[in-house]
Amino acid sequence: MKSALPARLLVISELFLPTKGGTTVWYDAVYRRLGGKGVHIVTAAVPDAEKIDRTHPNRIHRIGLKRVWWLKPESLGMYLKMLGQSLRLASRHGFDAVHGARALPEGLVAWIMARLLRKPLVVYCHGEELTTWGRGRKFRAMLWVYRHADANIANSEYTLEEMVRLGVRRESITLIYPGVDMERFRPDMPCADLKRAIGLKAGQKLILSVGRLVRRKGFDQVIRALPELVAKGIDAHYAIIGIGEDWNLLGDLARELGVAERVHLLGHVSPEDLPRWYNACDVFIMANREINGDTEGFGMVFLEAAACGKPAIAGTAGGTGAAVLDGVTGFRVDGTKVEAITAALSAILSDPALAERLARAGQRRAGDEFSWDAVAEKTRALVTPVGG
């Protein structure tokens, strides 16, 4: 069998590094593996982007993307800028396919480009857009893009089944889980300085969460579980990495429950320190729940924790069952019930043998099933046969 030739792709994505988030990590990891300078990524101009673009193996094209309140729709200018830049690139380069990072705004522009170039269109679906975009014109436009794409990528079984339920052809959807960088996220990294920085003492346990501070992630529920854990004799602290609208709420809740000295809101941490924080913890948790239809599509953070050799606890809502195997690599619990969260944390933190068994299974599965190389090859296969 011949080796796969580098792909020549036009990728349209409002979000890309250095913007934070699991999807930006996904795009970076996949496209740097697919085609080098043959991959052209149209994305937003953001602060500190030059550091990324200067050494990135792909060609990154930055444009100003801002919504303007007096335009109808407010994002019209974004669509036109994406389309203009894409047309300029298409006039100078040949592409094998066009990829849209989401249905809107990228997917609609990508559809126009794919039809003009007579090339295949691939569009990503991450799950949350299916449940949070209401049922108005934006929602209908999103479904139109998915229904007219040559191929769609769903990040979990939950996302795939939701797409089918909403009328997207099952045969157009490929299930591709996110991946994890097993070289960056690995066990046995030095982390004693991080523990000292939050005042963690010998024998104390550390619970860790990573993600945007929004209610559906369940960080507030973990704080509510802390007093009962302490009452059970589990001397635990809780560190949360991320920023978002619930920052003040989480701090206020910790003070109200008398556990403020045990809760550490860390905000953003450096890319170098993130894997070390996973190493510092005893258990990782994101007890996600559905709120007003908003839910978790997959949860790449669970893979990062597993790669670092840590057991994980996830909520039962959404598509987290693909990331955490209940009773095998961690536990899935009802994120609406504090007592269920408390029980799962107590089980892992009070039983080192159980924690070790779950951690080993999670790390083994992360390496076997979720490497970025495998994700990239599955993506390549959608439009570019092996051997070109």
pLDDT digits (tens, 9 = 90+) for 283-317: 999 999 999 888 888 899 999 999 999 999 999 99
The pTM (predicted TM-score) of the whole model is 0.83
| Average pLDDT score over residue span 107-133 | 94
pLDDT digits (tens, 9 = 90+) for 268-280: 999 999 999 999 9
pLDDT band at 5 (very low <50, low <70, confident <90, very high): low
Going by C-alpha positions, the residue among 217, 120, 123, 108 that lies closest to residue 176 is 123
Structure token digits, residue 342: 């408390």
Determine the Cα–Cα distance for residues 77 and 45; give it in Å rounded to an integer: 14
pLDDT digits (tens, 9 = 90+) for 32-73: 999 899 999 999 999 999 999 999 999 999 999 988 777 777
pLDDT of residue 385: 47
The third-level CATH classification (topology) of the domain covering 192-369 is Rossmann fold (3.40.50)
pLDDT of 114 > 90? The answer is yes
Determine the Cα–Cα distance for residues 274 and 18; give it in Å rounded to an integer: 15
Locate CATH 3.40.50.2000 in the chain. Answer: 9-179+371-381, 192-369
> Is the distance from CB of 131 to CB of 294 less than 8 angstroms?
yes
pLDDT band at 388 (very low <50, low <70, confident <90, very high): very low
Give the pairing of strands 236-241 and 263-267. parallel
Instruction: For helices 219-231 and 247-256, give the axis angle rounded to 10 degrees.
Output: 20
Determine the Cα–Cα distance for residues 335 and 166; give it in Å rounded to an integer: 26
pLDDT of 226 > 90? The answer is yes
| Average pLDDT score over residue span 20-30 | 92
Candidate CATH numbers 1.20.140.160, 3.40.50.2000, 3.40.640.10, 2.60.40.3950; the one for domain 9-179+371-381: 3.40.50.2000
Of 224 and 66, more confident: 224
The neighbour count for residue 169, using CB atoms within 10 Å, is 12
- Look-up of token digits 């939050």: 198
pLDDT of residue 4: 57
pLDDT band at 384 (very low <50, low <70, confident <90, very high): low
